[in-house]
Structure 1
Amino acid sequence: MNESIHVVCTHCHAMNRVPELRVGDAPSCGRCQQPLFQGQPVALDSAHFDKHLKGDLPLVVDFWAPWCGPCKSMAPQFAAAAQQLEPQIRLAKVDTEAEQALGARFGIRSIPTMVLFRGGQELARKSGALATRDIVAWARSVIK
């Protein structure tokens, strides 16, 4: 049986149905033709956040702010983790200064805070700056 998963495009935010066996074959968006996976975090705002929650991929969201030193130091680590985790896990970033409603909605009290969602539900969260290997290990341990 060839199951499909729903993957949201990081460019146009269209929902795409991709056969599970083809996820690793660099699929492109049916609407905008851009690659569905680029190995980098997607910046999300309140207009597109819920759409990405509805995708079938686990979603790790880094809630951060531009004035936060630890957030800035973790940014390249988080980007490197995206290269290792995609296409099994999607990574995203939410600027809590620009998207205060999202920070409030999820009760973000300190930054950086990573929240892992699957099927629209929060599975786990972790606060504080982490190294790439720790981000990857944490995400994988939660979804296994």
Structure 2
Amino acid sequence: MSAPSQHIVCTHCNATNRLPIERLQDAPKCGKCGQGLLTGEVQDLTDTNVAKVTQKNDVLTVVDFWASWCQPCLMMAPQFKEAANQMPNVVFAKLQTDRYEQAAAPFNIRSLPTMVAFKSGQVIARQSGALSTAQIMQWVRSLPA
């Protein structure tokens, strides 16, 4: 019997990688392009990869929906980045809603910034409003693993 595994989508090349759960802590790299998968960096999403990342990732994925004109979004960006740095086993990603309106539309974002947490293709939680690093991390830790 094979070891349990999880799927992680590479935001660089859009390839879906299957990793044994015990290797998630080993700084995994994409089998196609060699980029890091769980790096502690915020990944930028676009119209070409947002659906796949939110639907195919088995690991907890937190997407910050933001806009370039939104002051609270701009204030939260460094906080979101710091939370990502401190939680490398969670995929942190951003989608710029004013640039990728069609890609953001299916998520019914009504206020900005809004964070949406996904796991195995399901929305498991939403949080609107700018948060500090500590608040973001507390919210993420409260989600089902």
Q: How high is the TM-score relative to the length of structure 1?
A: 0.93
Runs of 4+ in 1 over 2 A off after TM superposition: none
- Residue 77 of structure 1, aligned match among 66, 76, 79: 79
Paired with 2:35 and 2:108, the residues of 1 have a C-alpha distance of: 33
Rounded Cα–Cα distance in structure 1 between residues aligned with 2:29 and 2:92: 18
Deviation at 1:2, TM superposition (A): 2.1
Alignment partner of 1:66 is 2:68: yes
Which consecutive unaligned segments of at least 5 residues does structure 1 have?
none
Shift in Å at residue 104 of structure 1?
2.3
Give 3-state SS (helix, strand or coil) of 1:124's partner.
strand
Q: Aligned-residue CA RMSD in angstroms?
A: 1.3
Paired residue type of 1:19: P
SS at match of 1:98: coil
CA distance in 2, matches of 1:10, 1:42: 7
**Secondary structure at the residue paired with 1:122?**
strand
Deviation at 1:10, TM superposition (A): 2.5
Q: CA deviation at 1:46?
A: 2.0
For the residue of structure 2 that corresponds to 1:143, the secondary structure is coil
How far apart are the structure 2 equivalents of 1:81 and 1:3?
A: 27
Deviation of the 1:128 alpha carbon: 0.7
| 2:120 match | 119
Q: Does 1:98 align with 2:124?
A: no
Q: CA deviation at 1:39?
A: 0.8
Displacement of 1:131 in angstroms is 0.5
Deviations 1:38-69 (Å, cap 9, x if unpaired)?
A: 21111111211121121111111100001111
Q: Which residue of 2 aligns with 1:12?
A: 13
How far is the alpha carbon of 1:73 from its aligned partner?
0.7
Provide the C-alpha distance between the structure 2 equivalents of 1:79 and 1:55, rounded to a whole number of angstroms. Answer: 20
Larger displacement relative to structure 2 (50-59 or 126-135): 50-59
One-letter amino acid matched to 1:74: M
Q: Report how far residue 103 of structure 1 moved.
A: 2.9
1:57 lines up with 2:68 in the alignment: no
Q: Percent identity?
A: 48
Give the C-alpha shift of residue 23 in structure 1: 0.8
Measured after TM superposition, the shift of residue 117 of structure 1 is 1.1
Deviation at 1:19, TM superposition (A): 1.1
